Each structure stands twice: as C-alpha cells, then as structure tokens.
Amino acid sequence: MINLLSINLPLHSYADIIFPTAVRQPFTYQIPDSLRNDMRIGSRVWVPFQRRKAIGVVVNIHSDTPDFNTRSIEQVLDEEPILNAEMLSLTEWIHRFYYCGWGEVIQAALPAGLNFYSEKYIRIKNLPDEKDLNEEEQNICEEIAEKESYLLKEAKKRWPPAAIKKLQKKGILEVWEEPELKIAPSTSRLWEWTDEDSPGKARELIEDHREQDKMYKWVEALELLQMLGLPEFQKNLSRHELLDSYTLNRIADEGLISAREVESTDISFKYEHDPEKLKKLNDEQEAAFREIKSALDEEKFANYLLFGITGSGKTEVYIHALKEVLEKGKGGLVLVPEIGLTPQIVKRFYQIFGDDIAVLHSRLTVREKYDAWRSLQNGEKRIAIGARSAVFAPVQNLGLIIVDEEHDASYKQEDPAPRYHARDVAIMRGTITEAAVVMGSATPSMVSLYGAKKGKSTLLSLTKRPLNAKLPEVKVLDLKQYRSAMKGPIAIPLYEKIKDAVEKNEQAILLYNRRGYASFLQCETCGHIPECPNCSVSLTYHKSKRQLRCHYCGYAARRPDICGECGKAALEAMGSGTQQLEEQISDIFPETRLLRMDFDTTSGRDAHADILSKFARKEADILVGTQIVGKGLDFPDVTVVGVINADTELAFPTFRAGERMYQLLSQVAGRSGRADKEGKVYFQTWQADHPALKAAKNHDYKEFARRELAFRKTLKYPPYSRIIRFAFKGKREHRVRQVAEVFTGILIEQVGGFDSVLGPSPSAVSKVQKFFRWETLLKIDPTNGAKAIEHLLDKTFADYDEKKPDKSTSVRINVNVDALE
C-alpha cells in the first residue's frame, strides 16, 4: 500500500518510479537536492531510462539506500500529482490482482494526452563550416537553424533520413527527446440552421428546384441535411460524400445554415436539460432507492446487486441515487457496456444532470478524452458516464458507482494487459473511497448472483414494469420440424408474422448471432476453404467488396476465381453473414425497406446511433443485425423480433455458453413490446429443449440460475473457482509447446496437484499473426485475493526463470486472471 505519510516529506532521497511496461518492479532513482521540494507521489518525472530518456510516475518516496548505483531524476513534470492516493491504491491493486505491470495499469487509466509520451527533436549542435557541406546539407542546416526546435519525424519526412543521419554523425546535428505535455483544448465546427425559419425556407427552395428540374449538388446536399437533422458537427456530416465543406459553405452563402466553433465534448446543443422531468419512483423502485440512500447517508462502502427485469426502471433508480449523491456534494460514476452507451441513455442522464455530465467513450479523439478527463479532475463536472475504462475517470469526491448491465462481457479487457474486469475494479474503487456500488442487471452474472447469496452484496429486486407493459410472449421454432417449411432462413410462422406486421405499418427486428461465425468461401469440388496465411482461421468473405478478410489480423485479398487446392473454378459463398441474410430477406420481402446493423456497418463514429435513429424515424420496416441490435430495441412500433439462430452461442468451447445464450435471448425477449402494442418474439433453434433457451422463453431467470449454479458447482467452474489463463505465444510451434509444458509442470508443483490445472493445449485459434498459441487454465479457490495470486505467480515465475528451456524470450507468457473467453 501507498505510504501516505511520505507524501510531501522533502527529506527523502529516493523515489520509486514505474514505466508503462510489463516489468512488475518499480525502478529506484535518486532525488537531486534541487528537486526535493517539488517531488510528489503520483507525479510524472523525466528520467534517464536504459539508453534513452523516459517519462515515469513516482509511486513512492523513501530513504532506503539501495545496494546498487542509482541515476538521478532530471525533471518533475507535474506541479500537482496527476494521480491521487486513491488512484494510486486502485492501480496498485490491479497490478497485483491481475498480475501485470503497475505502469501498464496507469497507462490504461490516464487519457492518452497525459500519458507516457515524448517527442524527439533535432537541432544544430555545432555550426558547420559551409564548405564541408553539399547543397542539400546546407539547406537542411539552414532550415533547422531558423527554427528553435524541429520535430525529428517532420525532418525525416522533409529530407532523406540518410542525410540527417550523416549530419548527426558529423556532429553537426543532435537529437534530443522531450516529454510531450502540451495539449490545446479541442473545438469542432458545428453547423446549425441560421434561424427557426431556415428549415421551412430550405424546404421551399428544394421544391422550387425540383419543379424546375434543376437539382444542383448543393440542393441535393440541403435535402440530405434536412433528413439528417441539424445541429451537427462538421466531422459527422462529412462522412457523407455530398456534404464536403465546400458544399456546406455554398449552402451557408444562401443564408440557410451557419457554423460556429464549440468544444467538441460539449453535448448541450443536442439534448434537453429539464430536471423537473425527474420521474416519481414506484413502490419497488422507492424501496431499492431507500436502501441505496442509507448507504449514501453513511458514506461507507456498500455493494448492491439491483436485479430488475428489462424495463423495470433500473435506470430511474440510478438517476435518483445520483441526484442524492450530488446533493451531498459528491460525485458519481456510471459504467455502461460499450454498445450500451447510446444517445438514448446519455439523453436520459443529461435531462436531469445537464452539464454536470462528462461522457467518455472510445470514439472520442485524444484531445476530447483529455478535455473530459480535465473537466472531472478539476471538479467542473461531477458525473462521468462511459464504458469499461471510464472506471478510472477522475471523479472528485466519489460517492456512488453504478455498473449497468454488470453481466456484460465487454467489461473485461482481454488484450492487451491490464486484463481487468471493470465491475470488479469498480467494487475495489468503492472500497478504497468508501463509495456505494450499485450493479444492475436483468440477467445477473453467476459470479454476482453467488456473491449476493454469500452476503458480499445486497440483493435489490424490481419485478414489475412501471408502465404496465407486459413481457412479450416468446415462441420457439424448432428448426428440425420446419425443415421443409422455410422461406430462405426463416421458418413460415415467423415469415407470416413479419409480413403481417409490415402490412400494418409496424416494424420487425431480426437478430443474427454472428459471434465468430461468418460467411466464407468453399470449393464445391474438393471442399477446400481459403484460410489466412498468418492465422489458422478461415477467411471471411465480404461480397460487396469481393474480398476475403481475416478478422484476426486484418489480412485482405481479392476474391480468387479458382480454388487454391484443386484449381477448379468452383468457389462458392457458404455460411452466412448479416449481409447475406439481408439479401435473402430482401428476396423474400421485395417490397420492404431494410436496414442492416453489424460490426461492418457501425465502424464509423456515430454510425450505430445513425442506424437506430433511422429505424426509429421509420425509414425502414425491418432491421437486420448482429447482437448489437439487442441493445437498441426500444421502438414503440416494433412488434416482431426474430432470432434467426438462437443456439449459435452453444458452439463455443466455453462453460459460459449457456449463460451467454440466456443473456442474449432474454435481452432480446425483454426489449420488445415496451409500449402499448403487444410484441412477439421468435427463437429459431436446432436445440429446442436446451434449458437455457427454455428459461429465456419463460423469462425465468431463477430457474436458469438454479440449474446453472448446480452445473458449475459439480465441475468447479466460477463462481466456485477463479480461473487464471496462461497464454503462450511464439513463432516456433515446438518452442511454444515446450515452454507451455515446462511452465505447466511448475504450476502443478506449486498448487500441489493436477486437479486444478487444465492443459497445456493449443488455443481454439491456435495461430494468430504468425504466432502459435497454447494455453493452460488454472482453477484456484475463488476467495484468493491479490496477495495470494501475486504470491503464487511470483513463485511460479521465479521457478520458471531457473528452469526455462528457452533462455531467449522468444515465447511470451500472458496471464489473464478471471479470463472470460
């Protein structure tokens, strides 16, 4: 733990410093007299590191003289620590529990703009004698001499790197490195209608042009603007080819629209702020809120599991609790799964809390993240809302942490390190800061449910929907029985229902679970499937681009005409992706308008929200998508939801398959029929008798959980154990295997028995980017915490270092504590 007493004590002569590497030990440096008064734990410093210089973070200051020579700190980079005692303790715990470098954790916790980043510059060291230089060299020196500093990477773009190297060798130029700290606040161009009459004028203008058959490009663009809606940032508009800045300015010349610069994290123009609209809680919600409030009143750590069926009003409970915490003068943190961070959810929090909210998401630019971070750090904003890494948001005086959809797998970071679980980090942060933690879900994870049973958290239940909407009826369509009664990928009853709905001007959503399952090419003569040359996975076929792609390493190639194995021109598209499904659906329903939402269509910044809002505006009848549509299903006119392949999740070699299937299906089933129209849900499956599927059909979480826990207990799977996965990676397969075997042997010795060690074995995807992968799973007692894990792994790795077959480091070993996949 951090020695708080040593903060600000100027007497100490040594500082322990960490760097963003996997090395787990800090490095000790000497504090020169000149810097003694400026040294703070949690500040960044500039130090010599190996043969260069680097930014590190001070994690301890002391006077224990080390028994080796120490180098001196050169510069203190922060007047005020960028990490307070709370964040230092938290990151230290992660470093120990998840067994990774402390610096790796701090790197993940800080926004990129504050990170361990430095820049190389070039300058004149000795003025050259002109006649020793050729013309090019003279030019280079002249230009560099003119400026005070010149970025090395810029110089290398401007002149041949060899020429610069040569001048360096001659001692004329020198390179030096400086920490990069400056970041300017970011603004973005926002386009708005000039006044409230503008949209009307625009409409007239478009009509006029249409009548005269004169559709200039800018008029077309104007029409598109009307469809998209203003205000909107230029960077979002310019994703449409038609809306380049030239055309926007052309429209502005007509006086219809105008632009201004606003801070790009500012969302106030987008949402309404009206705290009066706070809803009155119903009895169940009120009871849950009272419980949480009692913890807030005590200002002590407390952990709640808010188990409420979909649509039972969990979000309203969060909002009331946050309001309470703000009234106490404290701050709050709201974690949501990455794809749960939709404008709909932000809007609800914004309505009550307005500019008190900082939204953190992965698509912000470096500067925007930095701005948001600063606004929390200096107390300007008191609530942070964001996905996984927002668990590190520097909310001041934190009183409440909410983890919405706590079961969601996206809370676990798999690669690279730190491989932390944001829910568990949130609980630890709550413990350190004495804040209340509320984990909410309609389908709590087995781990959290078991925790509640064991008294680690308090269970709060919401069993009703406040708006009296009913949970929809679910029908299971057993594909074995419908084999000859299919319309393409859809069984007849579902087909009829969709047809009906579309005729009544209602909407349908079709969900296609594509996890690790995609379309591919197969030779109809020899059965050969093209594979990625780097990874042992089949390549995915993207029909629109006529391209084969590897979803692991990104390798791409044009669709081959002939089979690489037998040479026949018999490659056919197999399997099916969402894109193919979309085509099949449009063949079956030729008159309907379709929208598709999957990873490929949502890689743009706001694409996810764009598609959903189009669907909400009823610009399409059917939405086809992967599981990400499961999160946005809150449309009053959707009356049919179909899951094309409800059992795909079971094809994955993990004991969590049943839990995943249950979560996915109940998410979907619970989302439809939210408003007054009754919704119907269909599951198409080859395994109609599967208990998880049946439980989801009956909206029966308790039954699912009872069976699932019994099954886990017999096989000692989590929550009855904690799983640590060791992954071995290297370019030479026999080496990887050898290392895996030696390491696993040591592990078995350490834990004293085979029972709890599984492996080693090749990973499910055994080759990625030319690296072979093996793995070993270790099951330990789940009550083991950071101390026990660190102790066990320290000993294992120390032993391994002595016995390792491969003195070089050509095989890497990754540790993943509480691995999910």
H-helix or E-strand containing 671?
helix 657-671
Tokens standing for residue 97: 């529990």
Q: Which does 535 bind (CB under 5 to 8 A by kind): ligand ADP, Zn ion, none?
A: Zn ion
Taking the least distance from each CB to ligand ADP, the nearer of 366 and 459 is 459
Restricted to residues 457-486, the positions that interact with ligand ADP (CB under 6 A) are: 466-467
Taking the least distance from each CB to Zn ion, the nearer of 357 and 532 is 532
Whole-number Å distance between alpha carbons of 460 and 304: 7
Taking the least distance from each CB to Zn ion, the nearer of 552 and 652 is 552
Beta bridge pairs of residue 305: 439, 459
Q: Which does 467 bind (CB under 5 to 8 A by kind): ligand ADP, Zn ion, none?
A: ligand ADP
- Is residue 673 a contact point for ligand ADP (CB under 6 A)? no
CB of 679 to ligand ADP, least distance (A): 14
Taking the least distance from each CB to ligand ADP, the nearer of 277 and 515 is 277
- Is residue 672 a contact point for ligand ADP (CB under 6 A)? no
Burial degree of 528 (CB within 10 A; 0-12, 13-18, 19+): middle
Q: How far is CA 619 from CA 114, 573, 592, 819, in A?
A: 43, 30, 10, 41
Q: HEC states along 754-781?
A: CCCEEEEEEEEEEEECCEEEEEEEEEEC
Taking the least distance from each CB to Zn ion, the nearer of 660 and 767 is 767
- Is residue 271 a contact point for Zn ion (CB under 5 A)? no
Tokens standing for residue 751: 């834990």
Among 28, 75, 234, 282, indicate the residue that binds ligand ADP (CB under 6 A).
282
CB of 542 to Zn ion, least distance (A): 14
Helix residue ranges per DSSP H, 672-817: 691-697, 701-715, 733-751, 786-803
CB of 512 to Zn ion, least distance (A): 23
Taking the least distance from each CB to Zn ion, the nearer of 449 and 736 is 736
Restricted to residues 481-540, the positions that interact with Zn ion (CB under 5 A) are: 532, 534-535
**Residue 674: CA count within 13 A, CB half-sphere:** 17
DSSP reduced 3-state for 540: strand
Taking the least distance from each CB to ligand ADP, the nearer of 405 and 506 is 405
H-helix or E-strand containing 449?
helix 446-453
Q: Which does 550 bind (CB under 5 to 8 A by kind): Zn ion, ligand ADP, none?
A: Zn ion
Q: Which does 282 bind (CB under 5 to 8 A by kind): ligand ADP, Zn ion, none?
A: ligand ADP
CB of 662 to ligand ADP, least distance (A): 17
H-helix or E-strand containing 124?
strand 118-124
Q: Which of 339, 322, 340 is nearest to 331 (CA)?
A: 322
Where does 455-602 show beta strands of DSSP type E?
Answer: 458-462, 473-478, 486-487, 490-491, 507-511, 520-523, 540-542, 547-549, 556-558, 571-574, 594-597
Decide if 658 contacts 446 (C-beta within 8 A): no
CB of 727 to Zn ion, least distance (A): 17
Taking the least distance from each CB to Zn ion, the nearer of 215 and 557 is 557
Site stretch for ligand ADP (CB under 6 A), options 29-37, 281-289, 486-494, 581-589: 281-289
Residue 624 CB partners (closer than 8 Å, separation 6+): 509, 510, 512, 578, 581, 582, 585, 594, 595, 596, 597
Q: Which does 231 bind (CB under 5 to 8 A by kind): Zn ion, ligand ADP, none?
A: none
Restricted to residues 694-723, the positions that interact with Zn ion (CB under 5 A) are: none
Q: Which does 314 bind (CB under 5 to 8 A by kind): ligand ADP, Zn ion, none?
A: ligand ADP
Amino acid at 65: T
Give the phi and the psi of residue 621 in degrees, each rounded to 5. -95, -35
Whole-number Å distance between alpha carbons of 634 and 612: 10
Whole-number Å distance between alpha carbons of 476 and 383: 43
Taking the least distance from each CB to Zn ion, the nearer of 555 and 711 is 555
CB of 555 to Zn ion, least distance (A): 5
Angle between helix 85-97 and 422-433 (nearest 10): 140
Taking the least distance from each CB to ligand ADP, the nearer of 188 and 310 is 310
* Strand pairing category for 680-685 and 638-643: parallel
Q: Which of 387, 313, 385, 374 is nearest to 350 (CA)?
A: 385
CB of 308 to ligand ADP, least distance (A): 5
Site stretch for ligand ADP (CB under 6 A), options 23-31, 166-174, 306-314, 586-594: 306-314
Taking the least distance from each CB to ligand ADP, the nearer of 635 and 717 is 635
Beta bridge pairs of residue 460: 306
Site stretch for ligand ADP (CB under 6 A), options 153-161, 180-188, 257-265, 303-311: 303-311
Interface with ligand ADP (CB under 6 A), residue total: 15
Taking the least distance from each CB to ligand ADP, the nearer of 89 and 443 is 443
Interface with Zn ion (CB under 5 A), residue total: 7
Q: Which of 382, 387, 376 is nearest to 341 (CA)?
A: 387
CB of 611 to ligand ADP, least distance (A): 20
Taking the least distance from each CB to ligand ADP, the nearer of 312 and 756 is 312
DSSP reduced 3-state for 706: helix
Beta bridge pairs of residue 103: none
User: In the stretch 431-450, what mask flags binding to Zn ion with x, by CB under 5 A?
Assistant: --------------------
Among 12, 166, 189, 279, indicate the residue that binds ligand ADP (CB under 6 A).
279
Q: Which does 553 bind (CB under 5 to 8 A by kind): ligand ADP, Zn ion, none?
A: Zn ion
- Is residue 550 a contact point for Zn ion (CB under 5 A)? yes
Restricted to residues 311-350, the positions that interact with ligand ADP (CB under 6 A) are: 311-316
CB of 636 to ligand ADP, least distance (A): 10
Q: Which does 247 bind (CB under 5 to 8 A by kind): ligand ADP, Zn ion, none?
A: none
Whole-number Å distance between alpha carbons of 602 and 804: 45
Q: Which does 777 bind (CB under 5 to 8 A by kind): Zn ion, ligand ADP, none?
A: none
CA 541 to chain centre: 26
Whole-number Å distance between alpha carbons of 517 and 575: 8
Restricted to residues 551-590, the positions that interact with Zn ion (CB under 5 A) are: 552-553, 555
If you write DSSP's letter for every residue of 390-409 in order, what string do you get? GGG---TTEEEEEEETTT-G
Taking the least distance from each CB to Zn ion, the nearer of 427 and 550 is 550
Site stretch for Zn ion (CB under 5 A), options 161-169, 349-357, 395-403, 544-552: 544-552
Q: Which of 91, 34, 33, 32 is nearest to 57 (CA)?
A: 91
Burial degree of 181 (CB within 10 A; 0-12, 13-18, 19+): middle
- Is residue 632 a contact point for ligand ADP (CB under 6 A)? no
CB of 401 to ligand ADP, least distance (A): 17
Q: Which does 555 bind (CB under 5 to 8 A by kind): Zn ion, ligand ADP, none?
A: Zn ion
CB of 739 to Zn ion, least distance (A): 23
DSSP reduced 3-state for 642: strand
Taking the least distance from each CB to ligand ADP, the nearer of 324 and 582 is 324
Site stretch for Zn ion (CB under 5 A), options 404-412, 414-422, 470-478, 547-555: 547-555
Tokens standing for residue 688: 């109609």
Q: Which does 311 bind (CB under 5 to 8 A by kind): Zn ion, ligand ADP, none?
A: ligand ADP
- Is residue 699 a contact point for ligand ADP (CB under 6 A)? no
Binding site residues, ligand ADP, CB under 6 A? 279-282, 285, 308, 310-316, 466-467
- Binding site residues, Zn ion, CB under 5 A: 532, 534-535, 550, 552-553, 555
